[in-house]
Structures are given as structure tokens and as C-alpha cells.
Amino acid sequence: MSEYIPRYQGSVTKYIFVESPEMTPQDLAVRAYEISGGSMIKETCFGLQVTGTAEDVEKIIEALRLLDPDHIFVKDRGFPPGDPRRCRANLGGARPGFFGHEFEISLIRHVSHGLHKLPERDTQSISHPPSPGPEEKLNISKLKMLIDAQEP
């Protein structure tokens, strides 16, 4: 085991996803570079990664969100950009975590629609979100069938 010296210690990295009919990751990146100050901006196919001090990153995100509030989504990232343990340049194939993003990005237009409609909504109205149904109990006859199948 060798000594581990972390890179970018004390920094915060956030993903900024853009899924908009009016804005591309490149438009977002141009604006981010303008206001980046000392923070690191990495343009990706889905948006950006911003790395810097927590305050600087928060300020950049606040400014970028204003460009298209209903279509820009932000989340934390544990690893800094280009980290050899996560970067596809070293590993090949999809980055771990890609499948989660791929799945959620496929639904995010519904969330954008929800955010767009939110101001029109009466604050007193009760929401009926998609909820998990009652848990399906095991049928007794099916249980007996399973037990019978196990017996020699």
C-alpha cells in the first residue's frame, strides 16, 4: 500500500445537466467560462462539470440556472473531473453511474414540464404523485406449489 495524496482537496464538483430544446451544453459552457473565475469548467455531452470552492461553484450554478431554470439540473459529484479511477479515458466503456443518469435523463422532460406548470398550480391543491401500489402478498396456493416443487 502506498501513500494516498488526494487531488483537488477541499474542492466541490457538481454536474450541471441541460436537457432543453433551446439550449445546448455548448451555450451553457460559453456562459460558464465567462463567469468561471478560478473554477474549473469541463464541458461534456450532457452539460458541464464545475469544480472549485463550494461558494464559487454555488455562484456559478445560480447564474447558469437563470438561463433556463426548468431545464437545467444540478447534482453533486464525488470525484473531480479526469480522476483516473472514474475517467473513461483510462477505463474504457461507460463511466460507472452513466446508467443512472441515462435512465433519469430519459424521464427528465416530465420533471421539466412539472416545474414549468408549478407556478400555475394552486398552492392549496393536493398533489397525487405516482405512488408505489400496495405490496403484493404471496398467494397461499402459489406458496404450496413452491413447497411441493421443493420436496423430493
Partner 1 sequence: MAKVFIYPATSLILSDLVARFGHTPLSAAQSIREHIQTAGLESPPLQISPEDPKKGLKYAAVEVPSGVRGRMSLYGPMIEDADAGIIIHDADFAFGCMGCARTNELIIFLVKKRNIPVLELNYPKNDEEGAEFVAAIRDFLVGLGREK
Produce one character per residue of 82-119: b if its CB has 16 or more CB atoms within 10 Å, e if not. Answer: eeeebeeeeeeeeeeeeeebeeeeeeeeeebeeeeeee
Q: Does 33 bind partner 1 (CB under 8 A)?
A: no
And the C-alpha cell for 42? Answer: 469541463
Q: Does 112 bind partner 1 (CB under 8 A)?
A: yes
Question: What mask of x and - would describe binding to partner 1 in positions 74 to 93, judged by CB under 8 A?
Answer: xxxxxx---x-xx-------
Residue 107 interacting with partner 1 (CB under 8 A): yes
What span, in angstroms and rounded, lies between the C-alpha atoms of 25 and 48?
A: 7
Rounded least distance, CB 152 to partner 1, Å: 29
In sequence order, what DSSP letters do the residues of 63-127 get, joined into one string?
HHHTTSTTTEEEEEESSPTT-TTT-HHHH-SSPTTHHHHHHHHHHHHHHHHHHHHGGGS-TTSPP
Residues in 121-140 that interact with partner 1 by CB under 8 A: 121, 125, 127-132
Q: Is 66 in the site for partner 1 (CB under 8 A)?
A: no
Nearest approach in angstroms of CB 102 to partner 1 is 8
State the nearest-atom distance from the C-beta of 141 to partner 1, in Å.
26
Q: Does 15 bind partner 1 (CB under 8 A)?
A: yes
Residue 13: its H or E element = strand 12-18
How buried is 35 (Cβ within 10 angstroms: 0-12 exposed, 13-18 middle, 19+ buried)? Answer: middle
List the one residue from 33, 37, 44, 99 that touches partner 1 (CB under 8 A). 99
Nearer to partner 1, 37 or 114 (CB): 114
- Site residues, partner 1 (CB under 8 A): 1-6, 8-13, 15, 17, 73-79, 83, 85-86, 96-97, 99-101, 103-105, 107-115, 117-118, 121, 125, 127-132
